[in-house]
Amino acid sequence: MSVPQEVMENKLYDAEAEKRMLAAMMNSEECLIEAINTLTAEHFYLPKHKLIFDMITSLYRKSINPSYFELLKEVKKHSLFKNTAEFEELKEIAEFFIGEGNIKYWIGVIKDRYRLRNFYRFLTKNLEMVQKGREETSDLLMKAEDDLTNLVALEIDETGDMPQDLANYGLEEIEKRRKRFLEFNARGEYPLDGLDTGYKLLNQCCMGYKPGDLVILGARTGHGKTAWSMNLAATVSVLAKETEPILYLNTEMSKQQIALRWASLLSTVEQQRIRFGNISDKEFLNISNGYNQLYNSRFYSQAVPKLTPEKCVSIARKYKVQKGIKMIIVDYVGRMEKLSDNMKEFQMLEMIMRTLKTLGQTLDIAVVALVQLNDDGSLQGAKRMKNEADLMLKLEPITYEEANENQELQDVAANYWIRIDKNRDGPGGIDIPILFDKKTMIMSDPIAKGGGGH
């Protein structure tokens, strides 16, 4: 006995789930971010629901809150609805919101019905081929097996690589890198796989901060964690020829403190004099020009005193959707809220690092996490964090003995080390000298004592 088409269609989608999902996206940013990161328009069955999903997504990517009224304006602007009933349907969907608690349930229902539709199409296609009777049974079964395998594979995130594919990919990648190196070398430049670190030797060691990388930098209190992170932000999102969007999450400083640090960093006027307002007309002009650079930059920041791993993930996903960020800097991890009072500090740090690593891989961005070292330069739980990190760095002052005895430091002005404790894609155990001007908070490559660069 055949199943009536209308009955079959009703089993292939859930109108309530689709409406609940769209309503949640219109009324809750948290639900909206979750939906954009897990669903596409194709997951919806009804054409009108696909259209509304695309409109909501498009508005949010433009940093416009996709409320009912904004959608209404969009519909009227582009004449997308043809009759009153369609406008009433949009209003009904907007009022269908009942809360954020069941968002993952509704996503699960929608994805389940989407899988069922794909399976139904598979069955229909193969039934038609059987009825036509134009192919051998063995051929039909082979094709059906291939189609079903591909259908199941769509639901699996992890995919394997055939040896031929891996070999071809590797050869193409090497050829591409060789060509790139020759082009950069001819210009006296060094090719990078990721974002500029701001330091020549560090770039050569790690080839930049790459998508999916977890970079951990540790420093003792008062030894430049925030200065290092803001210099990195300046290098990537403010001063570069082609700036890249980054997100800076700060758990310690206010908006005023961050703004004043930028003034010094971009103008070279001493931080203390800026705080007092003791600046000349020329210096004020330099500061103004610096802020103009910041105004036109791609630096996004958010102060989150009570930052949790979950909140960090949510904020990062939002900025990935809206701004296309290539990096997130968390300053600093030690001030993130504990999920449980029973959790020890090293356990908390390990859990946070694992979350940040997954975040970077999922969003295809570099994640830079700042941690605080103990007075003796050690870090509790360092071994566990090191396992998660792609690049683990320590920022430490150059001692008086090192400055006088280390031959590498005799011809350059440098006062801090960036020590490479771990480097998954390159050499480790290397100490890179840098110059940290604490008056302006500017960090740079060492300067040759005889004048010129290092």
Can you give the chain as a three-state secondary structure string?
CCCCHHHHHHHHCCHHHHHHHHHHHHHCHHHHHHHHHHCCHHHCCCHHHHHHHHHHHHHHHCCCCCCHHHHHHHHHHCCCCCCHHHHHHHHHHHCCCCCCCCHHHHHHHHHHHHHHHHHHHHHHHHHHHHHHCCCCHHHHHHHHHHHHHHHHHCCCCCCCCCHHHHHHHHHHHHHHHHHHHHHHHHCCCCCCCCECCCCHHHHHHHCCECCCCEEEEEECCCCCHHHHHHHHHHHHHHCCCCCCCEEEEECCCCHHHHHHHHHHHHHCCCHHHHHHCCCCHHHHHHHHHHHHHHHCCCEEEEECCCCCHHHHHHHHHHHHHHHCCCEEEEECHHHCCCCCCCCCHHHHHHHHHHHHHHHHHHHCCEEEEEEECCCCCCCCCHHHHHHHCCEEEEEEECCHHHHHHCHHHCCEECCEEEEEEEECCCCCCEEEEEEEECCCCEEECCEECCCCEC
pLDDT at 377: 72
Q: How far from 386 is each of 91, 300, 313, CA to CA, in Å?
A: 52, 28, 21
Report, at the CATH architecture level, how domain 1-156 is classified: Orthogonal Bundle (1.10)
pLDDT at 1: 43
Contact 89/76 with Cβ under 8 angstroms? Answer: no
**C-alpha dihedral sign at 77, 81, 87, 89:** negative
Q: Write down the domain spans for the chain.
A: 1-156, 165-193, 200-448
Q: How far from 183 is each of 170, 384, 426, CA to CA, in Å?
A: 20, 40, 22
pLDDT at 258: 92
State how far the Cα of 272 lies from the Cα of 440, in Å rounded to an integer.
Answer: 8
Long-range contacts of 8-13 (CB under 8 A, 24+ apart): 8/120, 11/116, 12/45, 12/113, 12/116, 12/117, 12/120, 13/44, 13/45, 13/46, 13/113, 13/117
User: Residue 370: which of 214, 236, 199 has the closest Cα?
Assistant: 214
What pTM does this model have?
0.78
Strand 447-448, strand 412-413: pairing = antiparallel
pLDDT at 144: 79
Number of C-beta neighbours around residue 366 at 10 A: 26
State how far the Cα of 215 lies from the Cα of 386, in Å rounded to an integer.
Answer: 10
pLDDT tens digits in sequence order for the chain, 454 residues long: 455 555 566 789 999 999 999 999 999 999 999 999 999 999 999 999 999 999 999 999 999 999 999 999 999 999 998 899 999 999 999 988 877 788 899 999 999 999 899 899 888 888 888 888 877 787 777 777 777 767 765 555 455 678 888 899 899 999 999 999 999 889 888 889 999 999 999 999 999 999 999 999 999 988 899 999 999 999 999 999 999 999 999 988 888 999 999 999 999 999 999 999 999 999 999 999 999 999 999 999 998 888 888 888 889 999 999 999 999 999 877 666 655 566 676 777 788 888 899 999 999 999 999 988 887 777 766 677 888 899 999 999 999 999 998 888 888 999 999 999 999 989 999 999 999 999 999 999 999 876 554 4
Q: What are the structure tokens assigned to 297, written together?
A: 């930059």
State how far the Cα of 417 lies from the Cα of 453, in Å rounded to an integer.
Answer: 17
pLDDT at 378: 74
Cis bond leading into 332, ω under 30°?
Answer: yes
Contact 345/381 with Cβ under 8 angstroms? Answer: yes
Superfamily, domain 200-448: P-loop containing nucleotide triphosphate hydrolases (3.40.50.300)
How distant is the alpha carbon of residue 139 from its chain centre?
46
- Identical fold for domains 1-156 and 200-448, yes or no, is no
**C-alpha dihedral sign at 9, 11, 15, 18:** negative
Decide: residue 403, CB within 10 A, 0-12 exposed, 13-18 middle, 19+ buried: middle
State how far the Cα of 318 lies from the Cα of 324, in Å rounded to an integer.
Answer: 9
